[in-house]
Every structure is written in structure tokens, then in C-alpha cells.
């Protein structure tokens, strides 16, 4: 964000509106049988038409070759340098299940595990104990009390839970307890700097009480903790850019990321249709909207090429609905690529487009549509994902000239 702060005299508050549609895991790679990527395979006439009237390019979320998680991928799109503003695993896990984090809270990712009579690990995931068995255990652990802090335990799924410590003087600078192998006992939590001693002592107290409480359990007779993290201290988007930003997302983690960036999260339903309706109803109240479309990423992670194509085709009919809202700048971007042939997030640059009244001539007649190959030839070229916000601001008249 250092670079962006340099531009602080240029950010201008205006009534114009920006809509940033983030298609999670948007980018892909060609199917070996056809040589066409998910975007090239999908019938997406509305996205293609929008691209022909937009300034297009490819965005690099972190650095070439670097595969981002959801946190860095989104923060970059909001303009935050993802190498500077890091969201730790515990904090992201908490955001992912709608657990509120306040500044100072420490969250850790927890696993139920199985230990033998000597305390040596037998299974680091308690033989993947299902949610219906683990949730009551989380409620039991939630009763643990530690001096001077509030302790809360939230079930995630199967063997996973989140531990949240709330109080004064906590620190994320403590090590986890998972030795990453069986046959040895779990590790004690250790302070990584002097200010973290209190937190380490508290966390070890939690583990000791948990072990007592779970001693009679067959599978889940112990816990492992890792990824202790606090919220990063981000300058809020509203203050940095002079915006009144809002986030709309059906999935908790993305609502959490919007909150971290200082957006107001608008409650919505469970589908993208709900999100678009929420956008329409609240268009008057904000000047920047982040709206999140999740399904492409899940299909890509499943390695299901056809399902990812279908998710893109399902998104396409919403584009005219979003266009007719008349935002001065409409951005369609992705937090990272999730090529189905890799069945995972990847480092590949992500297609994006910026549409405004100025971009009609930028796509060009030879432009095939919205996909990796055509965007590589787009008028913007390859830029860092953190710079997309600057284009959105410029195209909506919110970024004044730099320097006389």
C-alpha cells in the first residue's frame, strides 16, 4: 500500500460507482483434448460481448510463478500489497466460518487428534472424525476457562475447529503444536518473542485442559493447534481511496476479507442471484461494490473441467443484469487461477476487464472474447493485481492527475 499512499492527493470522492465482480479461481488452462481453456470452452456470450467493449488484460496476484491463497488473491484486488499485508491461517479460518475477529483477538486452527497412552500421536486428524461427533466436543472445549481472556471454540468441519482468544496483550507470535508426524508427542506452544509469553502460557493451558476433558474419548482424545494469527492492520479502503465501499458475498470467508479491507458487509442470501439482488437494492448507498462469485473455484479445485465450464456459463446471464445497473466502472476479475487440469489454485495470471464509457474501442474487432489468450493481447497488458483498483478509480473519474 506504500505506492498507493503516495497517490493520496489524487483520490477523489465522486458520486460515480464502481462494481468489482470477483470470479473466484477465474483463470484456467487448456484441456489437453481440445487445447481450449475453461473460459474458451464455455458459452459466455455476455462476458465475451463485455470484453469486446472493455479494456482487458492479465493480472498477477503476487508475483509471476507464485500461487496465492484466497487471502492474498483478494487483498491484491482491493489494492493491498499481499506481500506486506498477510492474513494468518487461524484468522482466515475464523473468517471462513463467520467468526467475528476484533483487533487484538488471536485465532488458531485446531485439529482433534488421537494420542496413545504415552501421549504420542497416533492420528493427527482423529481418523477424520465426522462433524456430528466433533461438534459436541467443540462445545465441551468451549467451556474451558483461562485467566484474563475469553476463550471460544467454534466447530469447522469434521476434525477441524477454531480457537479464539480475546483479551488484552495477546500476540500471534507463538508456535503451533503439530509436529507434522505421528509417533511423537505434540509440541508445546512457544513464544517467538518476549511479548508473546502470555499467549504461549494461555495456549498451553488450553491444551492441558482439553487433554483432560477429552481423555476418555476413543478417537478425539487430544487437540493440535497451529496458525495462531491476529487480523492484519490494514488501512481501510474507505480512508485510503476516499470511497464508501461495500462487500457482498454468499460465503463467509469473503465477507471476512471484505471486513478486513474496511468494507461494510451487506447481508445477502446463499446464491449469486441473491447477491445481485442485494447489489441492486443497495446501489444507492455506496460507491464501490465487491461482489463475489464462488462456484468456479470449487469446480476447479475438484478438477472438474466441465463443471467449471458450467459455472462460467451459469454466471454469464447475470452480466446484463449487472451492466444495466449503470455503474461508471465495471471490473470483472479473479483472485487467482484455478485450472481444472491442476485441481488447485495456480500461479497463472488471471484475465480481467475494466468497462467504462471510454473503453468501447479498446477491445477491438479481432477480439475473440473474455479468455486467457485474448486478454493477454488486451489493451492493458499484464499488470499487478494491486493496480486494477487504480484503473477502476480512473475509469470512474475518481483518480485525479498526479503531479502538476
What size, in residues, is the chain? 404
Kindly state the smallest distance separating residue 40's Cβ from a second copy, in Å: 10
Contact between 49 and a second copy per CB under 8 A: no
Kindly state the smallest distance separating residue 135's Cβ from a second copy, in Å: 23
In angstroms, what CA-CA distances link 115 with 125, 223, 239? 10, 9, 50
Q: Which listed range, 135-143, 261-269, 273-281, 395-403, lies at the site for a second copy (CB under 8 A)?
A: 395-403
Contact between 233 and a second copy per CB under 8 A: no
361 contacts: CB under 8 Å, gap ≥ 6: none
Q: What is the DSSP letter of 72?
A: H
Contact between 365 and a second copy per CB under 8 A: yes
**373-393 core/surface letters (b: 16 or more CB in 10 A; e: else):** ebbeebebeebbbbbbbbbbb
Contact between 98 and a second copy per CB under 8 A: no
Q: Which is nearer to a second copy, 307 or 341 (CB)?
A: 341
- Phi then psi for residue 78, to 5 deg, are -85, 0
Which of 19, 92, 263, 353 binds a second copy (CB under 8 A)? It is 92
CB 317 within 8 A of CB 45: no
Contact between 192 and a second copy per CB under 8 A: no
Which of 227, 238, 334, 351 binds a second copy (CB under 8 A)? It is 227
What the block records as the C-alpha cell of 348 is 497463472
- What mask of x and - would describe binding to a second copy in positions 2 to 31, judged by CB under 8 A? -x--xx--x------------------xxx
Which of 26, 162, 309, 391 binds a second copy (CB under 8 A)? It is 391
DSSP 3-state of 325? coil
Around 85, how many Cα atoms within 13 Å sit in the side-chain half-sphere? 25
Q: In the window 28-47, what residues touch a second copy (CB under 8 A)?
A: 29-32, 35, 37
Kindly state the smallest distance separating residue 54's Cβ from a second copy, in Å: 13
Residue located via cell numbers 472438474: 304
Contact between 383 and a second copy per CB under 8 A: yes
Contact between 373 and a second copy per CB under 8 A: yes
H/E element holding 381? strand 381-384
Contact between 201 and a second copy per CB under 8 A: no
Which of 24, 38, 93, 328 binds a second copy (CB under 8 A)? It is 93
Which of 25, 68, 256, 369 binds a second copy (CB under 8 A)? It is 68
Which of 8, 43, 63, 317 binds a second copy (CB under 8 A)? It is 63
- CA 397 to CA 11: how far, in whole Å? 9
In angstroms, what CA-CA distances link 84 with 65, 146, 226, 234, 395? 18, 33, 21, 10, 27
Kindly state the smallest distance separating residue 42's Cβ from a second copy, in Å: 16
Kindly state the smallest distance separating residue 370's Cβ from a second copy, in Å: 16
Q: Which is nearer to a second copy, 155 or 339 (CB)?
A: 339
Q: What is the DSSP letter of 171?
A: -
Which of 103, 117, 183, 403 binds a second copy (CB under 8 A)? It is 403
What the block records as the C-alpha cell of 156 is 469447522
Contact between 152 and a second copy per CB under 8 A: no
Q: Which listed range, 44-52, 137-145, 199-207, 373-381, lies at the site for a second copy (CB under 8 A)?
A: 373-381
Q: Which listed range, 187-195, 213-221, 262-270, 342-350, lies at the site for a second copy (CB under 8 A)?
A: 342-350
Residue located via cell numbers 441492486: 280
What the block records as the C-alpha cell of 377 is 493481447
The strand pair at 350-355 and 55-60 is best described as antiparallel
* HEC per residue, 107-159: EEEEEEEEECCCCEEEECCHHHCCHHHHHHHHHHHCCCCECCEEEEEEEEECC
Task: Report the 10 Å Cβ neighbour count for 242.
Answer: 17
Which residues make up the interface to a second copy (CB under 8 A)? 3, 6-7, 10, 29-32, 35, 37, 58, 62-72, 82-83, 86-89, 92-93, 227, 339, 341-342, 344-349, 358, 360-362, 364-365, 372-373, 376-377, 379-383, 387, 389-394, 399-404
Amino acid at each position: 500500500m506504500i505506492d498507493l499512499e503516495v497517490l493520496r492527493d489524487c483520490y477523489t470522492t465522486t458520486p460515480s460507482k464502481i462494481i468489482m465482480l470477483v470470479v473466484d479461481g477465474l483463470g484456467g488452462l487448456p484441456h489437453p483434448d481440445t487445447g481450449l481453456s475453461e473460459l474458451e470452452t464455455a458459452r459466455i456470450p455476455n462476458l465475451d460481448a463485455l470484453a469486446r467493449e472493455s479494456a482487458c488484460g492479465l493480472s498477477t496476484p503476487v508475483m509471476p510463478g507464485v500461487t496465492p491463497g484466497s487471502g492474498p488473491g483478494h487483498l491484491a484486488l482491493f489494492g493491498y500489497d499481499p506481500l506486506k499485508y498477510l492474513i494468518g491461517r487461524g484468522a482466515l479460518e475464523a473468517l471462513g466460518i463467520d467468526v467475528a475477529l476484533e483487533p487484538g483477538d488471536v485465532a488458531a486452527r485446531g485439529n482433534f487428534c488421537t494420542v496413545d497412552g504415552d501421549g504420542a500421536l497416533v492420528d493427527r486428524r482423529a481418523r477424520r472424525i465426522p462433524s456430528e461427533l466433533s461438534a459436541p466436543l467443540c462445545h465441551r472445549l468451549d467451556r474451558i476457562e483461562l485467566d484474563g481472556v475469553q476463550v471460544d471454540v467454534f466447530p469447522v468441519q469434521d476434525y477441524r475447529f477454531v480457537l479464539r482468544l480475546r483479551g488484552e496483550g495477546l500476540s500471534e507470535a507463538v508456535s503451533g503444536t503439530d509436529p507434522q508426524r505421528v509417533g511423537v508427542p505434540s509440541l508445546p506452544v512457544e513464544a517467538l518473542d518476549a511479548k508473546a509469553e502470555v499467549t504461549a502460557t494461555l495456549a498451553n493451558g488450553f491444551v492441558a485442559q482439553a487433554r483432560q476433558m477429552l481423555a476418555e474419548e476413543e478417537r478425539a482424545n487430544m487437540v493440535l493447534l497451529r496458525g495462531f494469527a491476529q487480523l492484519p492492520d490494514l488501512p481501510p479502503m474507505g480512508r485510503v481511496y476516499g470511497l464508501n465501499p461495500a462487500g457482498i458475498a454468499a460465503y463467509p470467508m469473503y465477507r471476512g476479507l471484505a471486513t478486513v479491507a474496511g468494507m461494510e458487509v451487506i447481508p445477502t442470501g446463499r446464491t449469486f442471484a441473491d447477491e445481485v439482488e442485494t447489489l441492486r437494492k443497495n446501489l444507492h448507498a455506496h460507491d464501490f461494490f465487491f461482489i463475489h462469485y464462488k462456484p468456479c473455484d470449487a469446480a476447479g479445485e475438484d478438477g472438474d473441467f466441465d463443471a467449471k465450464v458450467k459455472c462460467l456459463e451459469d454466471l454469464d446471464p447475470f452480466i446484463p443484469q449487472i451492466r444495466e445497473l449503470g455503474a461508471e466502472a465495471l471490473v470483472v476479475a479473479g483472485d487467482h487461477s484455478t485450472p481444472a487440469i491442476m485441481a488447485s489454485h495456480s500461479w497463472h495470471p488471471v484475465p480481467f476487464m475494466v468497462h467504462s464509457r471510454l473503453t468501447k474501442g479498446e477491445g477491438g474487432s479481432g477480439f475473440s472474447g473474455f479468455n486467457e489468450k485474448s486478454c493477454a493481447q488486451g489493451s492493458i497488458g499484464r499488470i499487478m493485481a494491486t493496480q486494477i483498483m487504480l484503473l477502476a478509480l480512473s475509469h470512474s473519474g475518481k483518480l485525479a492527475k498526479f503531479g502538476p
